[in-house]
Structure 1
């Protein structure tokens, strides 16, 4: 039976090692996202997240508040809100985001909606088309801190001239930050981004 306990111990050590890796990678993503500094740009691009009807989730509201602050401070002169309608949502994320921005004093005419996307790659692919159509050359990508490194890596792959501004995440979002580790690895394996540490 000694082999059984040795195998059990080895599995436990491997599981603990995997957990430590995930936690450290998630913390590194958050740190990298918070370290980004926006440059004055033509447009801010707010990436979507879950919205309950027209009530944005806490992470989404945090992203929108960052966009409002950047607009009021003159860092951006327009905003693109990017997000389609998920299976568990009753309105497109972009519609909810625009409504939130307008209700908080942002002029409706400077907010452009992108309602087709269902993931980060599509967010930025469709957004880059809107930028070309409207003559916007530069962008500040606005999303949660742990999500920002992947978003910027995708933007580079798409040839976008972009800086970033990460909305500070809360402890309650840590599970989302851990899921982001898997998404980051998936995008690397699929060739949809370069490693964020090569920026």
Structure 2
């Protein structure tokens, strides 16, 4: 029986160690995301998140408000809203985002919709195509702080000339930040990005 207790103890220690690693990594992602400073660019690219009909989720509202602030302060002269329609969504994220921006004073013709993407890589791939079509060379990628390091790493691999703006996340989003750790590792393993600390 002693060996069984030793095995259980070892498993418990390993589990606690893994949890501590995830929590530290998530905090590091948030800190890294908030440390980025946007530079004046042609366009802002807002990456999508869940929307309940035309009611954007709290993380998405934070991203959109960051885009509005950048537009009003003259950092960007146009905005690309990027996000398709998920299985549990009744409208595309891009359409919901554009409606929110226009209702908050952004001119409709300054907002371009990208409705095809379902993940970060597709967000940036399809948004970069819009940039080429519209003659935009530089971008500010706007997303949640914990998501920004991966988004910028993917953008660099695609050759996008981009800086970032990390919208501040809340304590309620910490589970999403922990999930982002797994997404970050998955993207590295697939070769879609360099680790953010090396990018």
TM-score of the two chains, using structure 1 as the length reference: 1.00
Give the Cα–Cα distance (whole angstroms) in 2 for the partners of residues 40 and 197 of structure 1: 24
Q: Once the two structures are superposed, what CA deviation does each residue of 1:116-166 show, in whole Å capped at 9, x if it has no partner?
A: 000000000000000000000000000000000000000001100000000
| Equivalent residue, structure 1, for 2:132 | 132
Shift of 1:83: 0.0
Pairwise CA distance, 1:29:
0.2
Q: Cα distance, 1:6 vs. partner?
A: 0.1
How many Å apart are 1:93 and its aligned residue?
A: 0.2
Listed one character per residue, the Cα deviations across residues 74-117 of structure 1 (whole Å, up to 9, x for unaligned) are: 00000000000000000000000000000000000000000000
CA distance in 2, matches of 1:129, 1:191: 21
Aligned to 1:196, what secondary structure does the other structure show?
coil
User: Which residue in 2 is equivalent to 1:29?
Assistant: 29
- CA distance in 2: counterparts of 1:127 and 1:192, whole angstroms: 16
SS at match of 2:86: coil
Q: Does 1:120 align with 2:120?
A: yes
Distance in 1 of aligned mates of 2:131 and 2:178: 31
How far apart, CA to CA, are the structure 2 residues paired with 1:99 and 1:173?
24
Q: Does 1:178 align with 2:178?
A: yes
1:88 paired to 2:74: no
Q: Which residue pairs with 2:165 in the alignment?
A: 165
TM-score, length-scaled by structure 2: 1.00
Distance 1:50 1:117 in 2: 13
Shift of the alpha carbon at 1:25? Answer: 0.2
Question: What is the count of residue pairs matched by the alignment?
Answer: 199
Q: Per-residue deviation at 1:15?
A: 0.2
Task: Return the alpha-carbon distance in structure 2 between the equivalents of residues 99 and 132 of structure 1.
Answer: 24
* CA-CA distance at 1:46 after TM superposition: 0.1
Q: Unpaired segments of 5 or more residues in structure 1?
A: none
Q: Partners of 1:58 and 1:140 in 2: how far apart? A: 21
Q: Describe how 1:40-119 pairs up with structure 2 within 5 A.
A: 40-119=40-119
> What's the Cα RMSD here?
0.3
Query: CA separation in 2, counterparts of 1:132 and 1:97?
Result: 21
